Chain A
């Protein structure tokens, strides 16, 4: 699904990713763990196509397509979804309106027809119920006045509606209490599928108790320095990141 090879990324004057390589096979969930400043957010923003993240070397492919040649919306249409660490508030745009516009834009880019209003509403109601969200929240300005937990739930709701091929979850556990963490994790687990891959980016092992990864990678100073099974996360929790060196 996702194949990253020798990725070098600069932000301003600083090189943050320094030859990062990573492969996520179709249907698998991989975790990327690392200390603050290792480049975790840079990795997710670079994959999602944020401007200001300058790729100076290396490649990133999604199902064989060159991701780096596409802008953010084109990547979304190809199936990339980034769940933001800090989801934005967009006053004046109800969540439902936003998601429907995004879904239809993606479908249009893929040459598919628009989703009908009743079909969309039915799906939205079902997904909101799964995430124990008050449906009325979806009629209000996107994320406006939402708590941290509500915003993360809204991210997972959008992910469910947009049905991406590759979901990147950037610090999805940050700001969540234990109940919200459970609901969000269940939501994510429900979206695991044979034709969908996930990249779970996190500082702490806690989230991985709920979303069990197939593989765990350690990101330190801009590259993947170790990879292993789920037990690697436990080891990091116990020993910390010290043995991988301090962050850049």
Chain B
């Protein structure tokens, strides 16, 4: 919907409150005008990620000057294994971008993907991924987000079942007045599919985190085993997390679980760490990093996992001095 608005310049096409699923990420309200599309991009940011990471396809996406629409496809042939790091890089100012990814996995293919998205605090940025899987595919994704004026990473997976596995994880660490939305839709189409999701978020200042996780188990998709957990930490009175886990089940014999918890930093754990000598700021950082670090620990590729941990540690560092 954002791409359509950017292409046509028609602001009324922007998704907003009146659209189901965009209630908490209102782009119509955030943008009084739609910026023109331009082919130029801003310079790539300075990610500390090595261009060559062993066995990993690293793709960098620069921010547009004003408006940008991009469509990227990836096909993983049958039986192949790919590891992809998508760096969606920050530009400067009030740019608006829409990135669309289409992944197709052949029979028995596997794909592990890490998305790290950084944006300017004034930007509006949406990245949407659609994944088509065949039998015996393995798709694992981790999205790490630090927010923008409005930022959304949306992932749709059609899961054919069989011996296929899906992992859709995410973490967001938001400071200032940043906003990040992680939305996932997993559709179990066939028998005996497995899906696992762990999303963790931390919000400080006047930031807002949004999580929408939808699992659909269609008729006939018996034996589905789907689990989703979202855990949020709110560090300040002005910060907010909105979450909506949804289960829609049309099959009889399924195991589905969703857990959703939102709380404050554990004061007992904080005192424990401080009593061992960690200054308060360091103790907080340690607990926050550990909390979101569990998401990174689920990444199988060691190089990718390290990059994720570095990203999260850097974000946790940014919480220092944030109003709590």
Chain A residues with CB under 8 Å of chain B are 48-51, 71-73, 75-77, 80-82, 84, 87-88, 90-93, 98-99, 101-103, 105-106, 109, 158, 162
Task: Give B274-304 as 1s and 0s: 1 = Cβ < 8 Å from A's Cβ atoms.
Answer: 1111111011001101110110010000000
Indicate which residue in B267, B271, B282 contacts A101 across the interface (CB closer than 8 Å): B282
Indicate which residue in A49, A82, A91, A105 contacts B278 across the interface (CB closer than 8 Å): A105
Q: Interface extent on B, as a size class?
A: 20 to 34
Chain B residues with CB under 8 Å of chain A are 266-269, 271-280, 282-283, 286-287, 289-291, 293-294, 297
Taken together as a complex, chains A and B put the C-alpha atoms of A75 and B294 apart, in Å, by: 31
Tell me if B274 and A76 are in contact (CB < 8 A). yes
Taken together as a complex, chains A and B put the C-alpha atoms of A15 and B64 apart, in Å, by: 63
Tell me if B278 and A92 are in contact (CB < 8 A). no
Indicate which residue in A50, A72, A90, A101 contacts B269 across the interface (CB closer than 8 Å): A90
Taken together as a complex, chains A and B put the C-alpha atoms of A50 and B297 apart, in Å, by: 32
Taken together as a complex, chains A and B put the C-alpha atoms of A50 and B287 apart, in Å, by: 17
Taken together as a complex, chains A and B put the C-alpha atoms of A162 and B278 apart, in Å, by: 12
Tell me if B293 and A105 are in contact (CB < 8 A). no
Tell me if B275 and A72 are in contact (CB < 8 A). yes
B274 — nearest CB in chain A belongs to which residue?
Answer: A72
Tell me if B290 and A88 are in contact (CB < 8 A). no
- CB<8 Å pairs between A and B, sample of 21: A49-B274, A49-B275, A50-B271, A50-B275, A71-B274, A76-B274, A80-B275, A81-B275, A82-B275, A84-B275, A87-B272, A88-B266, A88-B272, A90-B290, A91-B291, A91-B294, A101-B278, A102-B277, A102-B278, A103-B277, A109-B277
**Centre residue among B272, B280, B291 by max chain A CB count within 10 A:** B272
Q: Which residues of chain B are near A71, meaning CB under 8 Å?
A: 274, 280
Taken together as a complex, chains A and B put the C-alpha atoms of A90 and B282 apart, in Å, by: 15
Tell me if A84 and B277 are in contact (CB < 8 A). no
